[in-house]
Structure 1
Amino acid sequence: MRPTSARNRRVVAAILAGVLVIGAVVWAVILFTAPPAGGPAAGVTPSPGATSAVPAPATTAPATTGPTTTASPTTASPSPSERPPSPAPTAAPPVVSPEPPVTPQPPPPPEPPPAAPFPLALLGQDVEVIPGAGQVVALTFDAGANSAGLPKILRTLSQAGVPASFFLTGSWAAANPSGVSAIVSSGHRVGNHSMTHPGLTGLTDAGIAAEVQGAEQAILAAGADPAPLFRFPFGERDARAIAAVNNLGYVPVRWTVDTLGWKGTSGGISVQQVADRVLAALRPGEIVLMHIGSNPDDGSTLDADALPQIIERVRAAGYSFATLDSLL
């Protein structure tokens, strides 16, 4: 019977050893397949229907083994880097306060035009008589050549107490500053007779301006202001030349009668003829043309010589004398 017992002991030992091996395998499987607390093992996705034991919280007593339950799939919240960007906040539109209604303002009154240097009624004219002057005569003298007759003329005017008007070229004023001073100091009026005494109708508007403005500057430099009186050299003018002079601030002044004293005795003129021409044309506002200089051929100064007789006869006819300022 001993052999049988020994064999039985070996069988029992083998069974026990097998049981131990199976137990060890089972525990190993449980240890490697059980998920960590809070979810399935890292890298292991539970298949549908699979069961797993849910470990008890660490602060509780060991859970009693019970029936296994099916783990419900959980939806993981995206990490901050995986969350979709939040839409940028929309800026609120600026609050615009309503502007007060604009009350239309009436336009400012137009500025008054600058005062014209001469009456607008004289625009476009080369004046031949002083309008509305009454029993008045204006004696005028042109100066462009020499000043031979000036001393006698100024002396006669002074003795008779008669004012007169003198149209000077710029070149004459520049060459005779003492003559300009004598005219002004005697109380007479000065006008512009161009710079060099050319016929202005053959010049461009720019050429006319150069003549008029050049004379103005020369006369001003000699101590007199010629504006706004102008006389065309040789009396040559047309509508364009008159407009050009007007645009420069001047009114052209012609004459009612030319004494022709500038022709001299060599031209067949005498002192008596000079005086007779003035009296023959006598009328209210008469403008008389005479000259300061002597005749270049015979040296006569007929206008200066006839002046005393002219003044006496005009006054005897009931007329007085005035400068061309009466035009303005």
Structure 2
Amino acid sequence: MSRPDATGSGPTDPLPGNGRRRTAAIALVAALVLVAVVLAVLLQRPAESPEPAAGPSPGTSAATSSAASPTPSSPSATPPPPAPAGTETPEAGQTPVQPPVTVPPVPATTPPAPGTVPPQDPFPAGLRNQDLTAVPGAGNTVALTFDAGANAAGLPKILSALSAKGVAGTFFLTGNWAANNPDGVRQIVSAGHRVGNHSMTHPGFTGLSDAQIVQQVRGAEEAILAAGADPRPLFRFPFGERDARTIEAVNDLGYAAVRWSVDTLGWKGTSGGISAQIVSDRVMAALQPGEIVLMHIGSNPDDRSTLDADALPQVIDRISAAGYGFATLDALLAQ
């Protein structure tokens, strides 16, 4: 029986047991409705592709992520391209070596046909690497040689003396001299004398590069050939200036280097204290088998004397009187 309120009206609270049952029923119905709604939504949602794996979270280093998740090797992975042939794979810590530049193969040299003789020097091999100061094995003969690089003032006297005595000489011409005196070249050749190469412009050779040596020798050769003479294979260094390198360079161009046994010093002229008699005496003082005498065609630039030309008749007579004959430097090529 309920307790009356203060006013004396009916009961204010329902029975406790009945209230709890109603509340539980309402909650159960609400829950069932919610489950039904969720199931309906899930059944109607289409299947989706899985999201890609997320990268390392902010603050996580790449090294930590890599160490935590090593990439497994896969048989289907594409292998790296092979290294080019002839290269090495660098070890750890080394700088990779760049592949070499492809160079077209050099064609093989065709061997000489059977029975053929390989090219040889146009002079005896024994003359290589030398600057000859005498004609070896020449016996009692003397080679009279004349350098031409300045003017041709003494040429008429020299050619006249040689012709009168029946003697042949060797004339070393510069290319410039040959180009400026083509008639002189023809006179020398027509008289039966030998011609050699004395460079193009008469420079000292030890100060020249290899390329300049080629220019000097080939330039003179072309100029002398154009004037009607062939200087090969005789060469004389300007000023007598040479060393092992320049001698080899001249040899490689097909020339044997020829120096002299005695310089008459006639080129110094009377202004230099020389006379025709001194010229003759110097030749005789150096007389020997195979002697090579150096004389000059041009006149002294100061006094215009031509002492070698003036002394030549006496020189020939004295050499002949001593029992010697004469030869051109072609005697060298017969060794």
User: Equivalent pairs: percent with the same residue?
Assistant: 74
1:244 is the counterpart of 2:228: no
Counterpart for residue 204 of structure 1: 209
Q: 1:35-54 counterparts in 2 under 5 A?
A: none
1:114 deviates by 2.2
Deviation of 1:110 after TM superposition, in Å, equals 6.6
TM-score (structure 1 length as normaliser):
0.67
Q: Which runs of 5+ in 2 are unaligned?
A: 1-111
- Give the equivalent residue in structure 2 for 1:61: none
**In the alignment, structure 1 residue 268 sits paired with structure 2 residue 273:** yes
User: What does residue 133 of structure 1 align with?
Assistant: 138
Q: Which residue of 2 aligns with 1:143?
A: 148
Taking the TM superposition and a 5 Å limit, the aligned residue runs for 1:1-328 are: 109=114, 111-328=116-333
Q: Secondary structure of the residue that 1:279 maps to in structure 2?
A: helix
Structure 1 residues without counterparts, runs of 5 or longer = 1-106
Deviation at 1:113, TM superposition (A): 1.7
RMSD (CA atoms): 1.1
Cα distance, 1:112 vs structure 2 = 1.6
Q: Provide TM-score, normalisation by structure 2.
A: 0.65
Output the amino acid matched with 1:186: A
Measure how far apart 1:111 and its partner are. 3.4
In the TM superposition, residue 195 of structure 1 has moved relative to its aligned partner by: 0.1
The residue aligned with 1:43 is none
Q: Distance in 2 between matches of 1:160 and 1:319?
A: 13
Instruction: Provide Cα deviations, 1:177-228, integer angstroms capped at 9, x if missing partner.
Output: 0000000000000000000000011001100000000000000000000000
Amino acid corresponding to residue 179 of structure 2 in structure 1? A
Aligned equivalents of 1:292 and 1:227: distance in 2? 20
Q: Secondary structure at the match of 1:249?
A: coil
* Letter in structure 1 aligned against 2:205: L
Q: Give distance in 2, aligned partners of 1:119 and 1:128.
A: 16
Q: Cα gap change, 1:108/1:265 in structure 2, threshold over 3 Å: closer, same or farther?
A: closer
2:75 corresponds in structure 1 to: none
**Distance in 2 (alpha carbons) for counterparts of 1:108 and 1:143:** 44
Aligned length: 222
Q: Distance in 1 between matches of 2:141 and 2:302?
A: 34
Deviation at 1:115, TM superposition (A): 4.0
CA deviation string 1:34-70 (max 9, x = no partner): xxxxxxxxxxxxxxxxxxxxxxxxxxxxxxxxxxxxx
Residue 304 of structure 2 aligns to a residue in which SS? coil
Residue 171 of structure 1: CA displacement? 0.2
> Matches of 2:121 and 2:218 in 1, distance apart?
18
- Which aligned runs of 4 or more in structure 1 are off by greater than 3 angstroms? 107-111
Aligned partner of 2:144: which letter? L
